[in-house]
């Protein structure tokens, strides 16, 4: 494995770092309080080319980045931008909406949707989670019944990232519940489709600048040309997209951890107690050393998974290890950042405590930590029941 970077790749990372530092809005604390999504920042990212990084030019993208370069870019974005909600939303659209359309869509679907998504004119959502099935796609309750004119969809999706502001959703439904995961099928459903309702945003602990909501389908008729891929391929489509999503969402988290470390080191060097910098106290310096250790070990797992994906090799085990380890490292480092800052870190106006609230979401989305442990154990031959 070669994780070295070319001068061109490093220059692109620096360009992303500078752009996000300069162009992203500085009112994150206020928008976090109001649970306010920034459409202006979303469009600024599109103008730079973020949403189009891995999409060919013929479909409105820049065609610039393979998975390693995209991951490097999102790491830089996480370091420069403290709106982790925005970055989570970008990654969700790029890897679980755009990539499936690129890999599984018809030429007509690609031509219709990808340019709009890359330009920022449209926003896309990935709708799989339900009240009684999230990580367990075997138990998906939304149905897609063959009918005159295409398919009739019924069901409710919950905790759908970007649903309240989305123009398009990749919706997963079962054409035959008896077939389990092999009945799951993906559909492209536009906001204005009759029988489809995109709900309001729900309040949540963290990632408050990113709207989550329901998508309700009530006798929603979609023509056959809205199906994404063949019948029964939805599970495979979702799993393939998830490995890419984990790489780049977690890259943004790694970047955020790097930003936390820089802020903590500066605070420990310049804040004095008992006549000396607080960084001179071992209880403080040890926390900072732990933050650095987590960054470096998590980075190795992250780069390995991206490298495996670029080489076209299976990354199921490594992706599960990465998701489990890096998301929990981010929680631990966010808590340590607050402790280093003391009461200053506990005050919302200082922007430190938000890191922990945002980090907690990472142990749930894209497969919970418990599910990742089940996947790892199962791939090691222990035959656990969940997360297959």
Give the residue-averaged pLDDT of 133-148. Answer: 80
Q: How does pLDDT run across 42-60, given as a tens digit for each residue?
A: 999 999 999 999 899 999 9
Decide which of 3 and 24 is more confident: 24
Q: Which whole number is the average pLDDT over 298-316?
A: 87
The pLDDT value given to residue 59: 95
Q: What percent of the chain has pLDDT over 70?
A: 96
Residue 137 contacts by C-beta under 8 Å, 6 or more apart in sequence? Answer: 128, 172, 181, 184, 234, 235, 238
Compute how many other C-beta atoms are within 10 angstroms of the C-beta atom of residue 198: 24
Residue-wise pLDDT tens digits, 166-221: 999 999 999 998 888 889 999 999 999 999 999 999 999 999 999 999 999 999 99
Region 352-357: what's the mean pLDDT?
Answer: 96
CB 244 within 8 A of CB 98: no
- Annotated catalytic residue, options 75, 79, 243, 245: 245
Known catalytic residue at 23: no
Q: 265-294 pLDDT, tens per residue? A: 999 999 999 999 999 999 999 999 999 999
Structural domains in the chain? Answer: 7-123 (1.10.540.10), 125-232 (2.40.110.10), 235-379 (1.20.140.10)
Query: What confidence score (pLDDT) does residue 18 get?
Result: 96
């Amino acid at each position: 494995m070669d994780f070295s970077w070319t001068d061109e790749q490093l220059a692109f990372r620096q360009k992303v770092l500078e752009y996000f530092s300069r162009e992203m809005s500085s009112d994150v604390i206020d928008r976090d309080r109001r649970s306010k999504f920034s459409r202006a920042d979303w469009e600024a990212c599109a103008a730079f080319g973020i949403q189009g990084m891995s999409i060919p030019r013929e479909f409105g993208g820049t065609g610039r980045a393979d998975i390693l370069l995209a991951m490097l870019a999102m790491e830089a974005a996480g370091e420069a931008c403290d709106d982790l909600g925005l970055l989570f939303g970008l990654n969700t659209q790029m890897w679980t909406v755009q990539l499936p359309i690129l890999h599984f869509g018809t030429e007509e679907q690609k031509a219709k949707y990808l340019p709009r998504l890359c330009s920022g004119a449209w926003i896309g959502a990935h709708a799989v989670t339900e009240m009684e099935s999230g990580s367990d796609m075997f138990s998906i309750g939304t149905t897609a019944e063959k009918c005159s004119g295409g398919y009739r969809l019924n069901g409710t999706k919950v905790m759908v990232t970007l649903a309240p502001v989305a123009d398009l959703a990749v919706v997963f439904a079962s054409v035959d519940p008896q077939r389990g995961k092999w009945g799951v099928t993906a559909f492209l459903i536009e906001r204005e489709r009759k029988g489809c309702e995109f709900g309001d945003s729900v309040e949540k602990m963290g990632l408050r600048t990113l709207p989550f909501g329901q998508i309700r389908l009530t006798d929603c008729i979609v023509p056959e040309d809205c199906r994404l891929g063949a019948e029964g391929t939805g599970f495979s489509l979702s799993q393939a997209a998830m490995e890419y999503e984990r790489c780049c969402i977690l890259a943004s988290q790694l970047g955020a951890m790097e930003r936390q470390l820089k802020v903590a080191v500066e605070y420990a060097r310049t804040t004095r107690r008992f006549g000396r910098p607080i960084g001179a106290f071992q209880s403080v310096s040890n926390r900072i050393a732990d933050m650095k250790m987590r960054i470096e070990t998590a980075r190795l797992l992250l780069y390995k998974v991206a490298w495996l994906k670029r080489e076209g090799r299976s990354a199921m085990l490594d992706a599960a290890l990465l998701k489990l380890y890096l998301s929990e490292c981010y929680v631990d480092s966010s808590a340590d950042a607050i402790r280093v800052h003391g009461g200053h870190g506990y005050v919302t106006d200082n922007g430190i405590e938000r890191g922990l609230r945002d980090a907690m979401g990472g142990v749930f989305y894209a497969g919970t930590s418990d599910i990742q442990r089940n996947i790892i154990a199962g791939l090691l031959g222990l035959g656990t029941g969940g997360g297959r």
